Structure 1
């Protein structure tokens, strides 16, 4: 009798979140123009907020309304009232799945979702749960608390993916063509292959990728930014950082060897760049991993902008 075989998929979510909070502000409150290389979710609880996005009409969000702001989007936030207080919740987040990221940018971002819509309701519930899990400052950094917060965000991303199926079916059409989507995917695959499998030329640049795919640098840059909302350089750096993390978590290679394997010109440049990405020097990061593994197996995920 033949035995059945069920494989378990390889998963690397790279989930990241920062700058999340619930805040009550006074009348005339405003926040300077900003942009991030991640998604920003905002839900209004009380009052009204005006969000001004470059080259867009201002959006006025009321109680229960939500918006997901695309990576790289310049925007300002302000209380619509000069006297009344306003309360809102927000979260900046990112994840590794480039295809879901692309669909979110194509279908969901930079729009006001009224309180009664499924996306607004999902967003309110998710942020409210995360805020509730974060109330006790003494337990915020505990493993159980952080895992529970990640679970809430992952479920939200799963539900967003299901919602996008409905949006795609009802309204159809992405802001990029099928050809552009394919070129974007080809660029992602070429970058991932160079970073992870080509040890002969670890210091490659985006021009090398474009030559490999027989496209111009300018066209490749425009398409990638259009499909994924970030620049190719940002994606290359992100992939190199992930590789550096993996290599530093094991002792098969010295830090000098890892610097070479990630394309850094020298140790000094690698150390500075890694500290910019993670907040730690490479040696400090290795010590952090050892210390954390003595308690649990969850790895620290760094981030850069």
Structure 2
């Protein structure tokens, strides 16, 4: 019988923003856009056309769903010039790089029919979040935000299980070798950022030298596997480390700036404000020990 059972370290890094249910008029359209996150869309009523750059336009009908991959340029518009259309939309991202790459490789940028497991899961989750969000006076309450976060995490858990049932390997946009190189790059970046024994002021070129691969090749492979550039990934991981240190450590802002590799406190403050919309000192005051599900730019509205 075991007398010691360890608990896993958990850092979900969950982001959810720009979510809404919206009824639009005929001839509605939204300009071409791309995000460094996933975008889930489910059609409730009517038909939507989604045009992905260099792809055949996709027609989404009632109950159908699409998850658009990070970095994908796309346009959405109502297929009808006269009839209204209702859709639900959510932008999200999370920490696990391996599951992230599998979602990109297996299920993004394709239509899931209304009777498919993924579309049903998506509709169920979004309807649940709509229910939690209907009372605007309760949207920013901790209890409401935790319920929404649980709904999204449960959705991701079910998608992960669903992917295990797919025979999607032949559709993956990268080879096993590229997947390994991408994971090696991600792990090496994370090690440099989170290991205090490593130089925090590293470059992507340093990572490639350490792995004995060309910088250009590493950049192309990483973007193919994870859907974002390695520089964006480095920025994201540094921001998350800065968040953790501001929330949970007693370190000064100057010390935190050094720990994430910023040349000085002024550069760190400008970069952190670009990341979060607020200065490090204001962020520390606002969050304390609480975690919030908020938009990255603090406006909370995306199409």
Aligned residue in 2 for 1:242: 240
Q: CA shift at 1:168, angstroms?
A: 2.9
Q: Residue 115 in 1 paired to residue 114 in 2?
A: yes
Q: CA shift at 1:264, angstroms?
A: 1.2
Q: CA shift at 1:300, angstroms?
A: 6.9
Question: What is the 5 A alignment of 1:41-80?
Answer: 41-80=40-79
Aligned residue in 2 for 1:34: 33
Aligned residue in 1 for 2:254: 256
Question: What is the 5 A alignment of 1:123-162?
Answer: 123-162=122-161
Aligned residue in 1 for 2:91: 92
Instruction: Give the Cα–Cα distance (whole angstroms) in 1 for the partners of residues 62 and 136 of structure 2.
Output: 27
Aligned residue in 2 for 1:274: 272
Residues 1-29 of structure 1: per-residue CA shift (max 9 Å, x gap): x6532221111001111110000111110
Q: CA shift at 1:269, angstroms?
A: 1.3
Aligned residue in 2 for 1:202: 200
Conserved 8 A contact 2:201-2:261: yes
Instruction: Give the Cα–Cα distance (whole angstroms) in 2 for the partners of residues 251 and 88 of structure 1.
Output: 42
Conserved 8 A contact 1:28-1:78: yes
Conserved 8 A contact 2:149-2:293: no
Residues 75-117 of structure 1: per-residue CA shift (max 9 Å, x gap): 0000001111100000000000001101000100000111111
SS of residue in 2 equivalent to 1:76: strand
Aligned residue in 2 for 1:177: 175
Conserved 8 A contact 1:32-1:76: yes
SS of residue in 2 equivalent to 1:176: coil
Residues 47-96 of structure 1: per-residue CA shift (max 9 Å, x gap): 10000001110000010010000000000000001111100000000000
Instruction: Give the Cα–Cα distance (whole angstroms) in 2 for the partners of residues 302 and 214 of structure 1.
Output: 38
Residues 198-228 of structure 1: per-residue CA shift (max 9 Å, x gap): 5552211101100100111111011101111
* Residue 224 to residue 139, structure 1, CA distance change in 2 (3 Å): same
* Residue 240 to residue 129, structure 1, CA distance change in 2 (3 Å): same
Aligned residue in 1 for 2:301: none
* Residue 25 to residue 300, structure 1, CA distance change in 2 (3 Å): closer
Aligned residue in 1 for 2:228: 230
Q: TM-score, normalised by structure 2?
A: 0.94
* Residue 51 to residue 86, structure 1, CA distance change in 2 (3 Å): same
Instruction: Give the Cα–Cα distance (whole angstroms) in 2 for the partners of residues 76 and 99 of structure 1.
Output: 28
Aligned residue in 2 for 1:221: 219
4+ runs deviating over 3 angstroms: 297-304
Q: TM-score, normalised by structure 1?
A: 0.93
Q: CA shift at 1:302, angstroms?
A: 7.3
Aligned residue in 2 for 1:285: 283
Instruction: Give the Cα–Cα distance (whole angstroms) in 2 for the partners of residues 152 and 133 of structure 1.
Output: 10
Structure 2 portions without partners, runs of 5+: 298-303
